Amino acid sequence: MITTRGARRTDTSLSDGRDLFYFDVQDTPAREPVPDERGLPQPHPQVDLRTDPLTGDVITYATHRNTRTFMPPANQCPLCPSKPGNLTEIPAPDYQVAVFENRFPSFAGPGRCEVVCFTSDHNRSFTDLSMGQARLVVEAWADRTADLSARDDVEYVFCFENRGKEIGVTLSHPHGQIYGYPFLPPRIRTLMARAREHQEAKGSNLFADILAAERAAGTRVIAENGTWTAFVPEAARWPVEVHLYPNRQVADIAGLTATERDDFTQLYLDVLQRLDGLYGDALPYIAGWHPAPVRIDRDLGYLHLEVLSIRRSADKIKYLAGSESAMGAFISDTSPENVAEALRKVNA
């Protein structure tokens, strides 16, 4: 049992040797791990990393993932607590937050992939979580970020959530994932290169300057509190895109203070409720944390969360067609200022 800043972590393992971590609030009784009775064979993921000579991007081939579980019925969900007739990835009869090594990982030595179950309630979403439950997820993210960052085979820790069938989720239970990349992802290489150019030219941090400009202008800020600001970026690529920044430069989630974690939880739930209110139903989205790299450019990075949606209107999806897919040049059907104004009006 390990006590983190705002949670108690209980370590155990699944029948095939994969790690499983339970996160509970500190004032709950100590957890006794329940053994996994499935008798799973030891996993042998097939992962091949290749570098594209044209771009330098690393492409990952994980052919074993083609057989991963796909949209099972609710009574066979592998992320729900175990019960007679449905032994799952979570052997316990109930849990608060659970994290385990992915059975179908995109990376596996080098690298690491984990699944984060936000709640045992199959029918909830992150938007529906209480402040306390969402705050516990933040503690789990912070704990896993610290552990994965300490690994020699991890260069970047990416906590993210895919929500909605339009995004391509394969399990409907409320959950996210954590990728411990064994390389720097292309987007992060680009961001760090731009941040380095900015530092050399201006003598200041690129992300801090962007935040300061957005706060000063105010036209795209949709919500804020004592330590965080949420805004639609000036050059948003996606039809709906919101960035959440702490008001001070922090390298990763583990570096946030207790107050910053509290304030993030409040602001994030506010933003998610606004997103769901935009068109009057659950908005499909991808939410991804952008910390600093593990080993290089720590001074250039600036932790923030980006939430994006491919829905461009109540009944239309933005598809990445010729210009976006072939050239990487985004053409948007929405205006950042109009989206920001619409989101400010939700729950106003």
- Using alpha carbons, select from 316, 111, 123, 341 the residue that is nearest to residue 223: 341
**Cut 0.85: pTM above it:** yes
- For residues 268 and 270, give the distance between their C-alpha atoms in angstroms, rounded to a whole number: 5
The pLDDT value recorded for residue 268 is 98
Same domain, 20 and 83: yes
Same domain, 25 and 140: yes
Same domain, 148 and 191: no
- For residues 274 and 291, give the distance between their C-alpha atoms in angstroms, rounded to a whole number: 24
One-letter identity of residue 77: C
Mean pLDDT of 271-281: 97
- Kindly report which listed range (26-35, 216-225, 299-308) carries the lowest average pLDDT score: 26-35
The pLDDT value recorded for residue 3 is 58
One-letter identity of residue 288: G
Average pLDDT, the chain: 96
Query: Domain boundary residue among 135, 151, 183?
Result: 183
Same domain, 177 and 236: no
Q: State the sign of the Cα–Cα–Cα–Cα dihedral 180, 181, 186, 188.
A: positive
Cβ pair 117, 173 in contact under 8 A: yes
What is the DSSP secondary-structure string of 162-198?
A: EESTTTT-S--SSEEEEEEESS--HHHHHHHHHHHHH
Query: Domain boundary residue among 154, 183, 212?
Result: 183
* Kind and range of the H or E run holding 22: strand 19-24
Domain count of the fold of the chain: 2
The pLDDT value recorded for residue 1 is 60
Q: pLDDT band for position 242 (50/70/90)?
A: very high
Mean pLDDT of 321-329: 96
- For residues 105 and 268, give the distance between their C-alpha atoms in angstroms, rounded to a whole number: 28
Same domain, 111 and 232: no
- Kindly report which listed range (1-10, 18-27, 282-291) carries the lowest average pLDDT score: 1-10
Cβ pair 228, 321 in contact under 8 A: no
Same domain, 168 and 191: no
Same domain, 149 and 214: no
Cis check for the bond before 110: say yes or no (omega within 30 of 0): yes
- Using alpha carbons, select from 115, 111, 126 the residue that is nearest to residue 275: 126
Is the pLDDT at 6 greater than 80? The verdict is no
The pLDDT value recorded for residue 302 is 98
Is the pLDDT at 339 greater than 80? The verdict is yes
Q: What is the CATH number of the domain that holds 338?
A: 3.30.428.10
- Using alpha carbons, select from 298, 188, 189, 214 the residue that is nearest to residue 249: 298
The pLDDT value recorded for residue 2 is 63
Same domain, 143 and 292: no
Query: Which domain range does residue 24 map to?
Result: 2-183
Mean pLDDT of 246-254: 98
Is the pLDDT at 97 greater than 70? The verdict is yes
Percent of the chain having pLDDT more than 70?
Answer: 98
Kindly list the distances between the CA atom of residue 125 and the CA atoms of 119, 231, 234, 242, 257, in Å, as whole numbers in the listed order: 9, 22, 29, 18, 25
Same domain, 19 and 40: yes
Cβ pair 306, 285 in contact under 8 A: no
The pLDDT value recorded for residue 67 is 84
Task: Quickly tell me which residue has 């933040």 as its tokens.
Answer: 138
Cβ pair 230, 224 in contact under 8 A: yes
Cβ pair 249, 130 in contact under 8 A: no
Same domain, 130 and 61: yes
Active-site residue set: 175
pLDDT tens digits, residue range 116-151?
999 999 999 999 999 999 999 999 999 999 999 999
Instruction: Please give the structure tokens belonging to residue 209.
Output: 């300057």
- Using alpha carbons, select from 222, 221, 211 the residue that is nearest to residue 277: 222
DSSP-assigned beta bridge partners for residue 58: 51
Mean pLDDT of 253-277: 98
Same domain, 219 and 287: yes
Same domain, 178 and 197: no
Backbone angles phi, psi at 343, to 5 degrees: -70, -35
Query: Domain boundary residue among 158, 183, 208?
Result: 183
- For residues 200 and 203, give the distance between their C-alpha atoms in angstroms, rounded to a whole number: 6
